């Protein structure tokens, strides 16, 4: 009889220990801090990259998830945010847009911390025309040089003049600039700079 009670007592004590251990584990799980969300990772763009229509942006306001969101730039060049409604984004760099949003939010909250990340580039287009194998518009996703654009266009036709390439580019005032590019010097020892193209550039190969 004594042996029977001893077995029962040990079983009860073991059950209590197991229940207590499970409860401690559940409490530890409940009290564990929630994982911190990783910051958004966008595409690598140059510091002077200019946002364009259809680009996908991540606008983050620190400690304000309700206002933080991922949104595309509309065809009119604007984005919409709570409190601020429409904000012009196209034509600005991510840093300029960040400062613009922070200044506007300053009327509603003290010292807002804002970040703007380019998640997808959809507005970076250049045209390659003339004596190339595949003339047309190139939809680009990353910074591209004129030599890379020429390669994407399939290279030169037989009677092209690679030393007389012209790049047409509009400046901030809307005026069109003509930049000359000598492909032969660029691939040789002539010291010709491999020009980085901007969205809207037109490369003409005579």
* Secondary structure element (H or E) that encloses residue 136, with its range: strand 136-139
DSSP 80-97: EETTTEEEE-TTS-HHHH
d(CA 153, CA 134): 5
How sure is the predictor about 203, in pLDDT bands with cuts at 50, 70 and 90?
very high
Q: Are 123 and 141 a contacting pair, CB within 8 Å?
A: no
How sure is the predictor about 29, in pLDDT bands with cuts at 50, 70 and 90?
very low
pLDDT digits (tens, 9 = 90+) for 133-191: 999 999 888 788 999 999 999 999 999 999 999 999 988 777 899 999 999 998 887 67
pLDDT digits (tens, 9 = 90+) for 87-108: 999 989 999 999 999 999 998 8
Question: Which domains, ranges and CATH numbers included, belong to the chain?
Answer: 56-120 (3.30.1950.10), 125-205 (3.10.560.10)
Q: Is the dihedral of CA 67, 68, 74, 79 positive or negative?
A: positive
- Residue 116: which residues within 8 A CB-CB, separation 6 or more? 57, 58, 59, 60, 94, 95, 97, 98, 101
d(CA 88, CA 149): 29
d(CA 201, CA 126): 5
């Amino acid at each position: 009889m004594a042996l029977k009670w001893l077995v029962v007592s040990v079983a009860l004590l073991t059950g209590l220990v197991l229940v207590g251990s499970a409860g401690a584990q559940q409490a530890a799980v409940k009290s564990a801090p929630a994982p911190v969300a990783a910051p958004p990772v966008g595409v690598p763009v140059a510091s002077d990259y200019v946002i364009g229509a259809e680009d996908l942006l991540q606008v983050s306001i620190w400690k304000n998830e309700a206002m933080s969101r991922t949104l595309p730039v509309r065809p009119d060049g604007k984005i919409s945010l709570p409190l601020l409604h429409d904000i012009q984004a196209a034509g600005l760099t991510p840093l300029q847009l960040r400062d613009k949003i922070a200044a506007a939010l300053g009327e509603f909250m003290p010292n807002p911390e804002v970040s703007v990340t380019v998640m997808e580039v959809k507005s970076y287009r250049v045209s390659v025309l003339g004596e190339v194998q595949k003339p047309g518009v190139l939809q680009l996703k990353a910074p591209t040089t004129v030599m890379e654009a020429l390669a994407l266009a399939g290279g030169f036709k037989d009677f092209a003049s690679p030393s007389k390439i012209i790049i047409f580019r509009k400046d901030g005032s809307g005026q069109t600039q003509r930049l000359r590019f000598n492909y032969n010097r660029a691939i040789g020892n002539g010291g010709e700079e491999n020009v980085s193209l901007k969205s809207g550039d037109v490369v003409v190969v005579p």
